[in-house]
Structure formats: C-alpha cells, structure tokens
Structure 1
Amino acid sequence: MESRTVSPVFVGRAPECAALDEGLAAADAGLPQAVLIGGEAGVGKTRLVEEFLRRAEAAGAVTAVGACVEVGADGLPFAPVSTILRALYRRLGEELTRAAAGFGGELARLLPELGEPSAAVGAARDVEVRGRLFELTGRLLEALARERALALVIEDLHWSDTSTRELLGYLFRSLQSGRVMLVATYRSDDIHRRHPLRPFLAELDRLRTVRRFELARFTRDEVRSQLAGIRGSRPPEDLLDDVYQRSDGNAFFVEELAGISTDCGSGGITDSVRDLLLVRVEALPETAQRVVRLVARGGSQVEYGLLRAVAGLCEDDLIAALRAAVGAGVLLAQDDGTYRFRHALAREAVDDDLLPGERSRLSRRYAEALEADPALVPPDGRAARLATFWYHAHDPVKALPAVVGAASRARGQHAYAEQLQLLERALELWDAVPLEVRQSLRVAEDADSYPLCDCPDEALGLLDMLAAMTLAARYAGVPERGLSLAKRALRALDGLGHPLRAAWFWVEKSRFVRNLGRGSGREELDTAQELLRGIDASPVHARVLTEAALWGAVFAPGPDSLAVAGRAVVLARTVGDRIAELNALLSRGGLLIESGRGEEGLHDLRTVAEQAVASDLVGVFTRSHINLQSLLESMGRSEESLVVAEEGLALAYHYGLPDTKAWLQGNRSDALFSLGRWDEAEEAARSARRSGQMPVTQALAAQRLARLALARGDLAVAEEEITTLRGLHRLHNGAAAQYAHPVAEYRIALAAHQGRILDARRLWAEAVSTGLGEGTGAYTWPMVAAAAEAESAARGVPAALPGQAEALAALRDYAAGLRRDYPVWEAYAALVEAELRRAEGAGGAAEWAAVAGMFDGLGRPFELARVHQRWAEALLAEGERERAGEVLVRAHEGATALGAGLLVAETGQLARRARLPLTREESTPAAGDGAESFGLTRRERDVLTLVAAGRSNRQIAEELFISPKTASVHVSNILAKLEVSGRGEAAALAHRLGIVGAEPVAPAG
C-alpha cells in the first residue's frame, strides 16, 4: 500500500519560480540563460526544478535532466551531460543525429549512441581535442535550440567531476545564441571551504549571464500548507508545532515527519537526523530492507538487471521488495529502468549504517556481477563503476587493472582530471599487487613521445605510470601536481641509466616550471639535451630539440635560437617525426622573421600552414595560423594578417577549438587596432575573452582591451584590465618579451597619462633589467616609444627632472640595440628618437615631418595622428602658424575618427593655446562661472591655469607660443582682476573657485 508523503500541492517559492520563468522567456527569445540554485539538502531544490520543467514543457520547450553521481569522484566524467544528451537523443532522434553530422564521432565520447568515438583529428594534442569536445557540445545545443527552447537541468553539482564543471563553465561563458536555458542545483551545506565547487561558483558569479540564488527553508505557514497537501486536510496545531520545530522548515524532513507521525504516532523516533532517515527503511519487510541496502551500495542509481544479478533473489521476490520500497517512498523507479533513493540523504544514511565488512562484501558482489555481464550497465560508465566496486571490495589484484582501464576510458573522453584521480588510486594500489600483474599493464602507451618500458623491470613499470600521470596533470591544468610527479620520476631514474626517459621527464618539468612562473624552464631543457648527447637519434631527441626551439622563439629570439630550430628541423626529418618537423619549422620561420629574413621565414610558415590544412593536422594548425598571423602583423602587414585570421577562424570553428579561436581573435584584434578599426578590434578582443579557456588567452584578451582603453582615454578601464592581465600572467609564465613588454608599455603609458612620470621611468627600468631578451619589434618598439613619450611629457615638470638625462641616455642605448628590419620598425625607431630629442628640448619640425612621412602609408592611423600633433606643435614653435594649422587639423581629424580621446583633447588644447581653428566647434566657458565673474578672457584663463601649475613667465610663453613680455602682461592683468597680491594667492583663489581644472591646458609634454 503506497504511503503518500509528497504534497501534491507545490508550496511557496514564488520569487524563484518567477526568476526561472523569466529566464525561460529570455532563452525563448534567443538569449541563452543559466541559473544556479543552491540550498541545503532536503530544502526542495528538486521539487522546484520539477515544477519548472513541467511549466517549460507546457510552454513548448524540450526538457532534459541529468544528475551528478558520487562515483564521479572516482572517475565517471561528464555523467550528467551524457544523461542529458541521451534524453535529447531519445526525444529528438534523427534531428539530433543530423545536428551532429560531421562530428558525431567526437560527440560519441559523451553520447555512445552516435557510434564509435573517433580518433584524435590529425594528431591533435589531447588538450586541443578536449577543447573541441566542449565546442562541439555547445554547437550541438545551439543547433537543437533553433526550433524550440531547451530547458536543461543538472542536479547535485556538489558531486560533479572536474570535467563536468569545466564543460559547464565553458557552456556558461560561450553560448551566445540559441534558445537554451541551463539550470544547475547544488547543496550549499556541503560546500566547505576547500570544496572544489567553491572556486567554480565564484568564477560563475563574475559572469553577467549567470543568475544564482539560494532556497530558504519553509516558514511555519508554508509547513502548514505542505502538511495539508500531504494529509489532505489542515493539520492540527500541535502536529504543526511538532513537525515545524523538529524539521526546522526543511521540506524533506517535513515529509518524513509527516509520514512517521501518520503511521507511528508522534514521538516514535529520536531527535537524530540519521535515525529519522532510517526509520522508514526499518519499517519495510526484511527482504525489502536487504534490497534497499544493495541499492545504497550500488551508487546514486542502479539498473534493474544489475540489481537482479547482485540480489540473489528470484524475480518475483525482487519485484515485491522493490514495490514495497517504492510504495513506502524510499526508492523511486526511473523511466530508464533504474532505481534510486527518493532523496540522497536517505541513501547516505543507509550506506553509513552498513558495517565495514558488509560494504566490501556488497561491493565485491557488484564487481563480480558486472565483470560477468558487462552489458548490465551502459558502456559509458562501465569502466569507472567496475573500478569503484573492486576498489571498495579491497581486492588490489582485481582493482588495479580495473582502475587503469577506467583511467584509459577517462583519457579517451579527454577527462584528464578524472584520469589523474584514477591513476592516483592506481599508484596507491601499486605496491599491493604482484609484479606479473603490474607488468601486464600499459598505462603510458599513448604518452607523447615517451619511450615505453620494453623489459620486465619493476622500476620502469612505475615510471610508465608516472609518465601517464604527468601528462594527465598537464592536460588537467594542475601544474603543481605535474611538477611533483616529474620530480618523483626523476628521483626514481637517478642512477638507473635510462637517459631517454630522464630527458622526457626533464622536458615535462621545464613546461611545469614555466607554467607556474617559477622560471623560464631553460635549465631543465639544457639538462635534457645534455642527457641525450652521444645517443642515437630518437623521437625523444626530436621532441627535446623541438621544445628547445620553441623556447628560444618565445624567450630568446636570436642567432643561437635560430640555429637550434634549424637543427630541430633536420633531426625531426631524420627520425621521421613529421609533427615535430612542422613544429620546428614554425619556430625557425618565426626566428627568421625576427632576424630580418622575412621572406624566408614567411615561406616556412606558409608551407607549414598549407600542410596543416591539407592533411588535417590539427595539432600543428593550432600554432601555424596563429604564428603566421602574428608575425605578419609584427612586420606591419596587417591586411595580410587579417586574411590569415579569417581562414584560421573558419578552421578553428570546423575543428571545434575554442582556445585556438581565442588566439586568432586576439591577433585579429591587433591587426584591426593597427588599421584604426577600433570597434571591430574591441569585439574581436571580447570574443577572445569569451572563447579563451587558458590563463594566457584570457590575459591576452585583457591586454588588448587595456590598449584600447588607453588609446580612447578611459584610464579607469585601462587600469582595471592591466590589473587583470597581470594577475593572469602570474598563472602561467608571463616573463617572455611578447607578454612582459606590452604589460610594461601599458603601465608606463597609464602612469604618464596620470602625471606619474617617475613611476613611468621606474617601470621602464624594471622591464629592461629583468634579464629578458631584447624582444621583437612588434612588442618591444611600442614599449620603448611609450617610455620615450613619458620622458617627453616630463619636459618642464620640475619633479621629473632629476635623473632625466640618465634616463634618456639609457633609452637611447637600448633602442640602438633593437632591430629595424621592416618599415614599421624603422618608423618606430624614428619616433623614439624624435620623442627623446623633444624631451631634451631639441629637434624640430623637419624631424617630425620625416617621422610622419615614415608612418604615412603604413596603415597606422593612430601613430600618424600622434606624430602630426607633435609636428604641428614643432611648427608653431618655429613660427609656421599656417602650416601648423593644416597639420593640426589632420591630427585632430585622425584622432576624432579613431575615437582617441586623449589625443583629441591634446589637439584641442594645442589649438586653443595657439589660437588655431579646428573643424569642430570649440567649447565656450559656461555662463556665470568663476572666470566670467572676474572678467577673465579665454587667454587669461589659459595663463592662470599655468600659473596655478607653478610655471614661470618664460615657461608660460613657451607653452602658449607667446613672448615672455606678453605673458608678464597677462599675469599682471590677472592679479588685478582677481584683486590678489601675488601668484600664489591667485593660484589658491583659482582652485577654490574652480576657475582652473575644468579645461586644463596640457603641460609642455
């Protein structure tokens, strides 16, 4: 006889229902939505989403639910996502198959119904194929949501595996179109300070597209309504008081207490929550209790066939037991033929109540049943569940192969965090297993270039395990653990005489050291190369030398690195490693361009890009188009860079590589910025931010947005983005010139714009004293130009004068050592020298005219407008007012067209100081302001501003292009009109009345 303990009336939650309905309406309008619902166990999260899904279905949406399972911690990745996709497949059938056409093999890792998982495309690196899996999942959901809204729910996020969280995080960030609503629930009382979900929630809180709320417990009135629904009548006040007091408003406890009070009478149990949860189970027949305990040990849900194989009951007795448990509200029968507890708290209580020996015995029965008939469970979870059962059965001989098999399965799904967790468990079991069992395992058979164990050496078998774990740690994004594993392997290798394996681990250590920002990794690479000296060439040699070439291209571009890259190309060809050869060619091509041999370098890069596309070499493509695009921009060939970007973006979309897309969009932003297409540059940078998954791509997006904010004059935004990118650079190694020099450039420019000239000088000195290579034209010349411009701005500022001569000399010496092989680099060199001469009070109009001529035609409108402003100023100083007016108009029009706010202000101020007209209307002082009340003219306001800034009459004359005598006359008139006795009193009055500061005249710099 079924006992009703769930209220048929949905109680309360009006604000939460409204928020969910609003989200669904927005999603139905084409704006993807995400909602996170937290609350303590039993508070009513599941009931809330069930009611929401019922309304969503009534509104025409397609719904699906997936739940995270506790076994996820042992390596069952993507379980809720797979469940949702399977539900959509059952509902939509051929429509889903058509939507997945062309990439069903990749999605088969999540939805086996689509066929056999495909191999990695074109030898793509694992981390790239993982990104492709994420991208294709999002693309599938967007395709399915074109015709109707999708309302997808993931429950119990507190049990989620790392891979599921990473996939959800990607979907929350990247879904930009489609009628998709994602809802996730989690237990807030389980999220302790070190719980892995806590940082994930904090990250999502920063996304404007994600809404999060917590469910509160029921009030007394709501408990009354819930009890009335359960009982079918209004509850007596004494029952309400008892239930409300003992449940404290927790909806699940209200249900349990209502059922107990109805069946057993008040006071039939203790106050222990555990006993409260167990009392309903203890009221079942003995056979039903046994089955309930079996279900508790089987995990979050158990298939009927598996339960039948484990229970040892005839089918009639099993069905009778299940009917009793379902009728009592202990278990729920699912549509897919599985059984689960009505509430996870009850399952935990039953499992905790088992004796230790009972747990291991039941786990063994599950493992034996599953081993005898693997078809009892779906294939996607089979390996992980078998590994979990054998592990908890405390049978190391059986558990180790099962755990290694589950790790291999996790790697096949690109769930590297779960692979690493499983291999950690295998390492724990290793010493408890006989040698012959360990020797039968091949845990590193697909490790990148790793020389596999080829002899029955116990130590080498452990090293194979450590190699697989090291790669899993790298791909899972846990470099700290990876570094620890690499160090452990190197200690184990000490004295064994296996240089190939040692060199392999030294390369891995180099990567981790770089990624953790603990060094450049150079020493580790040198050690690896030294170990291989005198040994016949092998794939490990090619890998080590190719990695050294890549290191040189990033950290030390120059002749030595170019020679290393050349040797890497030859060696890779010798050992027949085509992928290593192409990667070495990319490094060589970039280094040739940096050394001034542009056409040779471009030939290498274009050759690799063509081969990558022709042969679907995804792992090579992720570098080829990015490098070609970036280096074309570095040479000043921005239009060609955009052409490569378009091809690269189309391929990144085809391959489903979000981080590669982020790199390409970031480089595209560079080219668009150079060409003056700033709105497009901003959108490209924001697209890179949305797509990027790695700290380096996120940092580069912030870098581009900081540059735009500085150019536009939005210093607050620039400062915020600079802070962001510096923090992100600390998460990987941001010490290479291509990262460090732009950061220094923007910090220098920000300090100069804020008047902090000494800080700007210090920042430049720090940037060039850290031991970095001189860098490249694209990254280093703009930094030097920013430092020179800051010194130029210090002209006439007394606080900046100490040490300026030394600073200018150091800048000039540093610039002399930079290459000038391409017109854009040569133009920057001329710009730097002109700024330095301006800081010294030297140079003139002819010099600025020459710089303008060098930038003219290079497709650099911002630099050209800046140079025109300087040129106009120099012409004014030489008395060429008519020519100065023409040049200044060009500068102002260029700055205005770009939206370069600070440069617009500077050209406007220069025009006012010189009494030159511009094409725009000039602003006039507001009526009734302090200046007008004292009868000051516009020119006298300009003079008063400079007086308040502490300028002498001679300095005023220089800045306003008037004679010192005229400046003196203006100062005398000002003192008389303000009725003050001296310059200091005039300055104080001007500040107090707001006469100065509203339209500040730019200082001489």
Structure 2
Amino acid sequence: MLAPVETRSVSPVFVGRRDELDLLNDALTRAAAGEPQAFLIGGEAGVGKTRLVEEYTADAARRGAVVALGGCVEIGADGLPFAPFSTALRALRRALPDELAAAAAGQETELARLLPEMGETRPGRHDEEGMARLFELTARLLERVTADRTVVLALEDLHWADASTRHLLSYLLRTLRTGRLVVLATYRADDIHRRHPLRPLLAELDRLRTLRRLELGRLTREETGRQIAGILAQEPDPAQVDDIFERSDGNAFFVEELAVAAHEGCCTGLTDSLRDLLLVRVEALPETAQLVTRIVAEGGSTVEYRLLEAVARLSEDELITALRAAVDANLLLATPDGDGYRFRHSLVREAVGDDLLPGERSRLNRRYAEALEARPTLVPAEERVMRLASYWYHAHEPAKALPAVLDASVAARSRSAYSEQLRLLERAMELWDTAPEEVRSRLRPVDYTEAYPPCGCDPATTPLRYLDLMAEAAVAGRFCGERERAFKITKRALRLLADENDPQRAAWFWVQRSRLVRSLGRGSGREELARAQDLVRGLPPSEVHAQVLTRAANWSMIHSPGPEAYGDAERAVEYARMVGARETELDARQVLGTLMVGSGDIETGLAEMYEVKERALAEDITSVALSVYINLPSELEAVGRSRDAVTLLEEGVAFAGRHGLNDTKAWVCGNLAESLFSLGRWDESAAASAAVADRVGQGVAAQGIHATRRAELALARGDFAEAQRQLTAAQGFFGAHERAAQHHLPLTRIAVALAVAEGRPAEARAHLERALEPGFPPGAQRYAWPLLITAAEAGPDLLDALRKAARSVATPAPVWQAHADWLRAELLRAEGRTDPDDWSEVVTAFERLERPYDLARTRHRLAEALLAAGDEDRERATELLRLAHAVATHLGARPLTDTVASLAQRARIPLTPDTSTDPADTLGLTSRERDVLRLVCAGRTNRQIAAALFISPKTASVHVSNILAKLGVSGRGEAAALAHRLGVFPPEPGERALA
C-alpha cells in the first residue's frame, strides 16, 4: 500500500562539500587498513549535515563498506535510551548476521540491552558498573565485527541524544583502537546552548587526538546558484539567485524551500520569519493533509502508519490521500522500511509542532497514548513503554502518566540506561503529588524499585512511597555518574525522614550519602556512617543493618583499622547470614579478610579473601568480585607478594573490562601500577596508570591514586617537576579531609623527598612532623616504612622521633622486616656509625625479595660502607656498584644512577668490566646465536625469544639447540651458567639483579 509513495529529495544535485567528502573518503581508506576513524559533524539546522552523510555513505557502500545508520529519536524532547545504537546495530545485524552473531557469542544477554533481538536480558542486581560493562562489550563487539569488514557507523542528530547514548559514544571514541570502522556523529550546532547536555561531551571529545571535528558552513552565492539550478532543472535568473541567497543566507535547506516557493509562484509576500517560510507549503495543503502533518509532528521523529491511522481516525482512503499530498509536497517521507512516516526535515516538524495550540498538543498526545494502550503492537516492543510514558506525560494526565513513567524507568534500568532511569524517576517525583491517591495506592515497590532492601515491610503488598522513588533515583544517579544530583536527592530524603520514625530507611540514606560525599571529595564519609550506625543500633538484624556495618567496617579498614572495625565486620557477616543477604555477606567477609591480614593473621586473611573471590565468581555476584580484585591484590602487595598480586590484577583488569569500568578499573590499574613498580617493571607501571587516565566518571579518590602513582614514578626517575605536578594534583583530589594512611603517607613521603632533592630541608622536616604527630595506625607498615627510610636518608634531624615512630610499626612479613633493618642501618649511618655488616644483612634480606630498585639502593649503601672501611673489600664493592648501576640504568632511575656513578668515580671504580677480549669468539657462535643466548640467560622461553627477535618459535628452537651443542651443555640453565662464568657478554641492565 505504501510502496508507491514517492520519497524524492527536493534537490537532485549535491553542491559543495568537496573538501569534506575528500576527508571522509580518505578516512574510509585508513579504516580499511585497520585504523578506526571518528568524526563529529556539526552545523546549523538545514546546512546539509544529513545530505553529506547520505552522499558519503552511498560512496562507502559502493566501495564495499557496510553502512549502519542510526538516528537519535526525539519524542516530546525525551530521547530513547541508546536509540541510535540500537538502530545501527539492527542494520548491522541485517547486513552481517553471521559475523555479528559470532562477535556477540557468549554475551548475548548483556548486549540484548542494546539489541533486544539477541535474546532476553539477564535479570539480576544492578550496580555502578552495569552501564560500563555494557559499553565495554559494545566496543569489543564492534572491534570483532570490523576485524575483516569495513563498517561505517553513522549516528545522526546527536543534539537529541539521551545521556546513555552520549556516554556510550564517548566511551567508544576513547577506547576503539582496532578494527575497520568509521564512526560519524552529526549534531545541530545552533541548538547547543550553554547548558545543553551535549556541550560538555563536545568539550571532552575535543581533547581526543583520534577524533576530528567538521563544522559545515553555509553555501556561497555560486553554490547557491548551482543548487537552485539543480532544483529547477534550468539556469536561474541572477536576480533570483541574489534574492534567494540573501533570504536563505546560504542555508541549504532554506535555499530549497525558497527555490520551490519561487517556482510555485509563492515567493511574493513571504514573511521574513523562517518559521512562517517553513509553514507556507503546509498551509497550501488540503485541510485533511494539514491535520495529518500536525499529528505526525507530535508523534515523534517517526510515526508508524498503523499508529497514525489509529490517531488520525480517518478512513484509510482519506489517510492515504492526505499522506500522498504531504509526500508530494516534500513535507513527509516514507521510512526506508515502508512502515511509517517522518518529516523530510526536522525544522519543518518543529515549525508545525510549534504552531499547535497547547490544548491541541495535549489532545494529540492523549490520542497517541490511548491508541498505544489499546493496541501495544503498533510500535516496536523496545520503544513502547518509553513512548507511552512520553505521550501520557505530555497529555498532562498524571493519573496515567505516573505509572507509565515508572514503567519506563524500569525499562531504562533493565537496559543499564541509568541516566534515563534517573530522569524518568525525577519526572515521577514531579507527578507524585498531582496523581490521584487511588492511583498511588495501587503502585508497589516490588514493581518499580530495587535500590535498597525492604525496611521491615513486604514490598509486594505495601504501597509505593515517595521516599522509595527517591531511593531508586539516588542509586540511579550514583550508577550513571550523576553524583551531584544523587547527593541532592539524599539530602531531600533525609529532611523528609527527620519527621518520621523510620530508622532503617534513614540509615540506608545516610550510607548512600556517605558514599557520595567521598566520591565527590567533600568529606571522608565517616560522619554520615556514624549517623547510620546510631540509627540501627539496638535494632534486630536486617539487611540494612548488615549493610551499615559492612560500610562502617570498610571505612575503618581504610582509615583506622582496629578492634572496632574487626567487630563491625564480624557482626556484618553474622547479620547478613541471618537474613539471607548473600551479597552483603560476601562483601563483609572480604572486608574481614583484609582486616585479618592487616592485624598479622596473614594466611587466614588471604585464604578468606581467595574463598570470597571464588564464591563471588561462582555465584555471579559481580560487585563483590570487583571489590576483591581490588583488595586481595592490595593485601598481597602489602605482605611483599608483588608477583602474585600482578597475576591476580591482570586477571582483574580483564574482569573489570568485561564487567565494570571507571572507578573499579581505575583502582585495579592503580594497584597494578604499584605492584609493577615494586617488581621493577616501571614502563609497564606507567602504562597501567595511563590505561585509565582521565576516564569520565571516575571519583576523586581513584584519580588521586593514579596521580600518586605517577608522582612516585617521576620522583624515582628524577623528573622532579612532573613529580611536583602530580603530587599537587593528588593532594587536590584527596583534599584535607582524606587522612587515610594509604593516601596521605605516600604523598608525605613524596613531598619529603622532593623537598630534600630541591634543597628545602626545613620544609621536609615540617612535612615529616605533621605525619608523625598523630602516629601510624595499625596495618600502615607498607606506607610507614618507606616514609621513615626517606626521612632518615634526608639527614640527621629528627632521628629520635624516627626511632620512636618505628617502634609502633609492625613487621608482619619479611618485606617489612627488611625495611625495618634498612631503617636501622640508615639511622646509624646518619649518626656516622656505618657498619658494612649492618648493610650486608639488609642486602641479603632484599636479595630474597623481588624489589630490584630497593635492592639497588641498599647495594649502593653497602658498597659505600665497604669502601669507607678500607680496600680489603674493594672487589665486592665494585661488583655491588656495577649491579646497582645496571639496575638503576635499566629502570631509568636517574638520581640513583648519578649517585652510584659519583661514588664509583670518587673510588676510581669502572662501572663496566674490561671487554677488550670477547669470550664469545672462542665459542664459535654466530651473531644471531649470541642474541638468542643473551635472551636464554635472561630466562626467556622460545616463544618470547621469537617475539623479541621477530622470528618464528620453531626457528628460535633450532638456534637454542645449536647453542647447546656448541657449548657442550645439556640444558638452558647450564648454558646460561656457563655464559655467566665466561663473561660472554655484559648483562642487560637489571637482568642479574632480577635473577
């Protein structure tokens, strides 16, 4: 029925934009070579953004690319969650069904939030990582689909995009690094006012080097003339070109409208108002056709034919006749699937919509809602609840709008579209007082909320309360990163609860406020947790009670571990088990395990945390698993097991990539950077921190952690200016309120070291005195010992204070006993009592640990002590200095390199051995075999040797066999030992120290 309807464009020629097309076509060539490309195309309404995309995608399709188009949908100014991505992925699925299915294998339930055709979404508890998890999976899906096929992903009308779409686009543009993909996104530049939600995204994306912005300007007079000639199929009169160019100011759409109006003899008498210009052809339509255009204008960006038929209430013949008139006038177009209609240009739809009377708009929205309620299948299932909510809301009927908006909020939550869920919940709160009581009394918390556990009531029978909406909105705000909005909601909720006797609900809101205060950097969150504890004290066990105790124990674990924290954690586990709150129980158990390790019960605590990790993974409790991937490796690092920590953290990075991002991945990568630094893998440490640099949505503490890591690395490498910049940044992120040992003690150590290095001893003493004054809390040894050693190295001041402070710091693991011995030796050295035996013990202790930087520093100290004692141990001092210098050079630790070199120069010790004769010459090794042997000595496998030398593993194996035969040895270990004894070649810097 609809197929014969013509959908021709007014302008048959494409004018101008040659430079832009050339740039886009070059990007397609780059993308086809495996380098993803991204463009933001901006311009005022009507300037030709859509036409440019149409021309480019047609060219791309002719060149063999798959084109996936998606547009942001405006329904009463409410964007549908992920609408352009859903549409584009649906097009991609039609074009590449097998490839998309293979790329999505195993993740269909998650990706169904974007593309419902993939299956049912997985039910389960939501968390802060849900949206990030979906984003990561979408990025990986696109990378896999475009591995062998060039795809153009075009998203139009970004100015209408919902928040979730904006966040997903930002994530994709930041993280896509492989694949044959071109991403285009268009937006209306003249609509982006100062407070438009797209403006911050544009500013953020401008910093990306992988993204290019195209701003389309208006047509020149010459281009305007060519466009008019194409429309009229004849050369226009120059005076007519001048007139149209002056009236349109080069806007391509207005040129079309004015040219057609002139051709139809309607030019005379046109008002200067553009809105009136746009309405000229509408008003020239028959009355029935005008009615249909008004109905379509209020229905949204696209209106399905059957829905339009139900709302228009015309006979089918009358409706088809009216539609044909509107299509022939180039006002409406049939959708590509032939199932509906849209305006040819959104400016015309806006003009028609603006011309509606207020009562007329409400009436049309009511008719849309009634039609959709009567026949839900009139629109796609994934759009139904959102559109129904929008229609009833704009119909100004609270009795219908409130439940519809709440249903839409649940649908948004099920898709991890937490930004849209928050907006809808705020709309529900707006409607609450105007909706009739009998409507509100039929609503149940179990149907619309899952933010917090029932507080002593049955959610299936208890009426929904306004406070329930506030709780759900507060959590949605936290999940989508709108922490400021969530914070304001919790403040309002607590004001309302001040007059009610509902301690559990109030305690729950105080816990939320504590989390928000910390993430916003406005406090430590302790005061809020204390209020929550006071409220539940003496109440029977409940899930809220267990949550409060878990959060309190977690806070104390970080800020002031001790018996009180331990007791809170134990009671949290007990209460959670009593009420069957499994997630809270596992969360409390991992906090308890961390406290065990800190108290010295290391093996029991680690075993508990490993058990929680396995249980959380087995039971699919993602939030707890993510927490354990942060805390367990941190405790392994705390007891000196950095290699175990790295193994677990690399697993955690992958897990966070699949199930979380932002804060969680930032914390995991922060811990990874710390452990890699300890192991002497400094370049990898820097890369781990850079992997999550400047991610949108990170809390201030996560950003502070990475600033601290960068400051530590810059300090060790001698880049004091960068260390100071990062130190200042970290101090700003944590703020004066954040006094957790894990944050302020490393920052103090950096500040002390910088002050000493730059000749500011008084400032160094002041930093140290402030840190020592309150004393060190239990479990702070991993931060306290390095600080005390740095202070001791600084000079003879405050030695008594350092000794006193050291007596309060535990040594529960060999790594911290080694630090304690180091400090003792440093203090004796500061007093002029250097004894080689003291330093020998320290070096021996560090040789058992995987701490190459610390080992190099203590070897330097031992060499210094040996040289001061006389020449009898000069050979040993020489070896120690060479080892320390090799490691420092390998790490890029310039201050240590210079210090070692200075001592060697004073002692007239050469830092490289005499290599005038080459022992390798006597072995008959080829140049390539020597390269392979060097890597064998470094402990590399055949596969690693192959990767390093760009050869195949089989070739590497052949070389190794030849080497063993030439050396007359039976294995790799013997070959390495023989090469070492013969001094075949100097060790790569740091290799012997690491062996």
Q: TM over 0.5, yes or no?
A: yes
C-alpha distance after superposition, 1:24-78 (max 9, x if no partner): 2222222222211122222221111112211221221111111112338536211
Change (3 A) 1:3 1:113: closer
C-alpha distance after superposition, 1:290-315 (max 9, x if no partner): 11111111112211111111111122
**Residue aligning to 2:187:** 186
Change (3 A) 1:281 1:148: same
| Residue 711 in structure 1 maps to residue 713 in structure 2 | no
| Residue 366 in structure 1 maps to residue 357 in structure 2 | no
**Residue aligning to 1:101:** 105
Cα drift, residue 358 of structure 1 = 0.9
Q: Pick from 808, 817, 838 the counterpart of residue 808 of structure 2.
A: 817
Q: Pick from 423, 426, 437 the counterpart of residue 424 of structure 1.
A: 426
| Residue 515 in structure 1 maps to residue 516 in structure 2 | no
**Residue aligning to 2:17:** 13
What pairs with 1:10-89 in structure 2 (closer than 5 Å)? Answer: 10-71=14-75, 74=78, 76-89=80-93
**Residue aligning to 1:552:** 556
Please identify, of 674-683 and 424-433, the stretch whose mean Cα deviation from structure 2 is larger.
674-683
**Counterparts of 2:719 and 2:593 in 1: how far apart (Å)?**
38
Change (3 A) 1:222 1:848: farther
Contact 1:738 1:775 in 2 (8 A): no
Contact 1:4 1:259 in 2 (8 A): no
Cα drift, residue 816 of structure 1 = 3.3
**Residue aligning to 1:908:** 901
**Counterparts of 1:72 and 1:152 in 2: how far apart (Å)?**
26
**Counterparts of 2:397 and 2:224 in 1: how far apart (Å)?**
48
For 1:885, give the aligned amino acid: T
Contact 2:270 2:277 in 1 (8 A): yes
Change (3 A) 1:207 1:840: farther
Cα drift, residue 404 of structure 1 = 0.9
Contact 2:7 2:333 in 1 (8 A): no
Q: Which residues of structure 1 form unaligned runs of 5+?
A: 793-803, 923-1005
| Residue 740 in structure 1 maps to residue 741 in structure 2 | no
**Residue aligning to 2:246:** 245
**Residue aligning to 1:890:** 883
Cα drift, residue 912 of structure 1 = 2.9
**Counterparts of 1:237 and 1:768 in 2: how far apart (Å)?**
85
SS in 1 for 2:120: coil
Q: Pick from 587, 591, 597 the counterpart of residue 591 of structure 2.
A: 587
Change (3 A) 1:18 1:911: farther
**Counterparts of 1:369 and 1:521 in 2: how far apart (Å)?**
50
Please identify, of 205-214 and 286-295, the stretch whose mean Cα deviation from structure 2 is larger.
205-214
**Residue aligning to 2:443:** 441
| Residue 609 in structure 1 maps to residue 613 in structure 2 | yes
| Residue 664 in structure 1 maps to residue 668 in structure 2 | yes
**Residue aligning to 2:568:** 564
**Counterparts of 1:920 and 1:248 in 2: how far apart (Å)?**
79
SS in 2 for 1:169: helix
What pairs with 1:469-508 in structure 2 (closer than 5 Å)? Answer: 469-508=473-512
**Counterparts of 2:23 and 2:540 in 1: how far apart (Å)?**
67
**Counterparts of 1:500 and 1:569 in 2: how far apart (Å)?**
18
SS in 1 for 2:333: strand
What pairs with 1:477-876 in structure 2 (closer than 5 Å)? Answer: 477-652=481-656, 655=659, 660-689=664-693, 694-695=698-699, 696-722=701-727, 725-726=730-731, 728-729=733-734, 735-765=739-769, 773=777, 776-789=780-793, 791-792=794-795, 805=797, 807-839=798-830, 843-876=834-867
- Find runs of 4+ consecutive structure 1 residues off by over 6 angstroms: 1-5, 455-460, 769-772
Cα drift, residue 509 of structure 1 = 1.7
**Counterparts of 1:760 and 1:914 in 2: how far apart (Å)?**
30
SS in 1 for 2:342: strand
Contact 1:304 1:338 in 2 (8 A): yes
**Residue aligning to 1:989:** none
Please identify, of 742-751 and 152-161, the stretch whose mean Cα deviation from structure 2 is larger.
742-751
**Residue aligning to 1:956:** none
**Counterparts of 2:454 and 2:345 in 1: how far apart (Å)?**
47
What pairs with 1:96-495 in structure 2 (closer than 5 Å)? Answer: 96-120=100-124, 123=125, 125-264=126-265, 266-336=267-337, 337-443=339-445, 445-451=449-455, 454=458, 461-495=465-499
SS in 1 for 2:128: helix
SS in 2 for 1:332: strand
C-alpha distance after superposition, 1:694-738 (max 9, x if no partner): 2344544444344333333344544454455555556x9865332
Change (3 A) 1:559 1:104: same
Change (3 A) 1:738 1:51: farther
Change (3 A) 1:164 1:781: farther
Q: Which residues of structure 2 form unaligned runs of 5+?
A: 916-995
SS in 1 for 2:297: helix
Contact 1:75 1:407 in 2 (8 A): no
- Report the RMSD for the aligned CA atoms in angstroms: 2.9
**Counterparts of 1:920 and 1:241 in 2: how far apart (Å)?**
85
Contact 1:453 1:461 in 2 (8 A): no
Change (3 A) 1:27 1:551: same
For 1:530, give the aligned amino acid: D
Please identify, of 761-770 and 588-597, the stretch whose mean Cα deviation from structure 2 is larger.
761-770
**Counterparts of 2:761 and 2:362 in 1: how far apart (Å)?**
71
Change (3 A) 1:536 1:918: same
**Residue aligning to 2:990:** none
SS in 2 for 1:127: coil
Change (3 A) 1:375 1:762: farther
Cα drift, residue 576 of structure 1 = 2.2
**Counterparts of 1:70 and 1:809 in 2: how far apart (Å)?**
71
**Counterparts of 1:342 and 1:390 in 2: how far apart (Å)?**
26
**Counterparts of 1:379 and 1:272 in 2: how far apart (Å)?**
40
Contact 1:493 1:502 in 2 (8 A): yes
Contact 2:72 2:79 in 1 (8 A): no
Cα drift, residue 550 of structure 1 = 1.4
Contact 1:75 1:421 in 2 (8 A): no
Please identify, of 78-87 and 648-657, the stretch whose mean Cα deviation from structure 2 is larger.
648-657
**Counterparts of 2:168 and 2:914 in 1: how far apart (Å)?**
54
Cα drift, residue 406 of structure 1 = 0.8
**Counterparts of 1:5 and 1:653 in 2: how far apart (Å)?**
45
Contact 1:132 1:658 in 2 (8 A): no
Contact 1:3 1:328 in 2 (8 A): no
Cα drift, residue 396 of structure 1 = 0.8
Please identify, of 425-434 and 452-461, the stretch whose mean Cα deviation from structure 2 is larger.
452-461
Contact 2:524 2:738 in 1 (8 A): no
Question: Percent of aligned positions with the same letter in both sequences?
Answer: 54
Cα drift, residue 583 of structure 1 = 0.9
For 2:204, give the aligned amino acid: E
Cα drift, residue 624 of structure 1 = 1.9
Please identify, of 26-35 and 695-704, the stretch whose mean Cα deviation from structure 2 is larger.
695-704
**Counterparts of 1:641 and 1:692 in 2: how far apart (Å)?**
27
Contact 1:503 1:540 in 2 (8 A): yes
Contact 1:131 1:659 in 2 (8 A): no
**Counterparts of 1:218 and 1:733 in 2: how far apart (Å)?**
57
**Counterparts of 2:335 and 2:530 in 1: how far apart (Å)?**
59
Change (3 A) 1:465 1:170: same
Contact 1:661 1:691 in 2 (8 A): no
C-alpha distance after superposition, 1:971-998 (max 9, x if no partner): xxxxxxxxxxxxxxxxxxxxxxxxxxxx
C-alpha distance after superposition, 1:613-639 (max 9, x if no partner): 333322221112322122111111112
